[in-house]
Structure 1
Amino acid sequence: MSNTSTPAAMAISPGTFHGITLVGAVVAAVTTFVTLAAALPAWAMFLGWVGYNSRGQTVREGLANLVALLLGIVFGAGTALLIGWLTPHVGNLATPLAVFADVVLVLSLRALPGINNPLAYFLGLISFFAASQPPTPSLLAGLVAAGVLGALGGGISNVLQGRLAR
């Protein structure tokens, strides 16, 4: 589950290729077990994993991606509150207006050094809205925890796969 591309994968031995695959699968299974044991949603963990790996190959880049994903979760909660506030005033236009504001914010942040990954922000927004619950501290804590576990799994997988590939 690393960012190893198919052409690069072809340049390694079949044994190493399969070893890298097994490392990703084992780390994903263990991360899923821990996530479920903590009563967190596995789908949110996988969004954290994907967010961590959405741009760059280094741990530093992965952590920056994680920060963007976590901010996206917070933006999602803010958007839900904005929709609730706007609905009595503009009715069915509330959601499109809030989405417009989200997209302006997220795409403007692509100019911010370090955490300028719109895909990771959108994955955080998806994580919040996929939960289909009101923005509560416990929901946000659960989504953040699941995202962090996913990013941790993604990072561990990348490091172990990189060592195996050398």
Structure 2
Amino acid sequence: MPAIPFHSITLVVAGVAAVVTFGTNWAMLSAPAMFLGWVAYGVTGETVRHRYANLASYVVGLAFGAGTTLVINRLQPSLGLAATGIAIFALVAIVMCLRALPMFNYPPAYFLGITSFFYSGHPPTVATVMVLGTAGAVGATGAALSDYCQSRFLAR
């Protein structure tokens, strides 16, 4: 790719990221969750449908993170530190089994959601999953807009 289109696309993507980050902060959503949603959407997928399946997997990963936190909290009084290892073992086993699904089969997207939940430090509630999922959806929208702008620029 010649230097001018390369740098132009770089500036377009950076501009989209700046606007999306500003909007995320303005709406008081989690910027890290927004960027993880961006990555989940754009990390793989040949079609927009696959990319939105990755976003859905990210949101399911958020719910898995919340559920795993509840399991750890429930098991910790009786199992101590072993509770975390046991819960994570079960979580990873479940996520890896989801590779067999026809569409929602990309484990890294689930792990990005799980990471986003654990990183947030918020309590394991439906509201937390919804807020982080919204931030992730904003990020995925930024990624989709970025892809669209790039394709339009390259079509010239």
The TM-score with structure 2 as length reference comes to 0.96
* CA-CA distance at 1:13 after TM superposition: 2.2
Determine the structure 2 residue equivalent to 1:41: 30
Residue number among 126, 144, 149 corresponding to 2:138 in the alignment:
149
Deviations 1:25-78 (A, max 9, x none): 011001001100100111110000001011124211210110110100000000
Range that drifts further, 13-22 or 95-104: 13-22
Structure 2 distance, partners of 1:91, 1:133, is: 21
Structure 2 equivalent of residue 54 of structure 1:
43
What are the equivalent positions in structure 2 for 1:13-162 lying under 5 Å apart?
13-162=2-151
Structure 2 residue matching 1:154: 3-state secondary structure: helix
Q: Identify unmatched segments of 5+ residues in structure 2.
A: none
Once residues 27 and 61 of structure 1 are traced to their aligned partners in structure 2, the CA distance between those partners, rounded to angstroms, is 22
Quick one: which amino acid aligns to residue 47 of structure 1? L
Distance change >3 Å, CA 157–CA 57, structure 1 → 2? farther
Identity of aligned residues (%): 50
Are the counterparts in 1 of residues 59 and 129 from structure 2 also a CA contact under 8 Å? Answer: no
| Deviation for aligned residue 1:123 | 0.2
TM-score between the two structures when normalised by the length of structure 1: 0.90
Count of residue pairs brought into register by the alignment: 155
Aligned alpha-carbon RMSD (Å) = 1.0
Note the alpha carbon deviations across 1:116-166, whole angstroms, 9 max, x for none. 010000000000000112112332221011000000100110111111112
SS at match of 1:48: helix
In the other structure, the counterpart of 1:4 is none
Gaps of 5+ in 1: 1-11
- SS at the partner of 2:124? coil
Q: Write the distance in 2 (CA, Å) between the matches of 1:159 and 1:115.
A: 23
Q: Give me the whole-angstrom Cα distance separating, in 2, the residues matched to 1:30 and 1:58.
A: 24
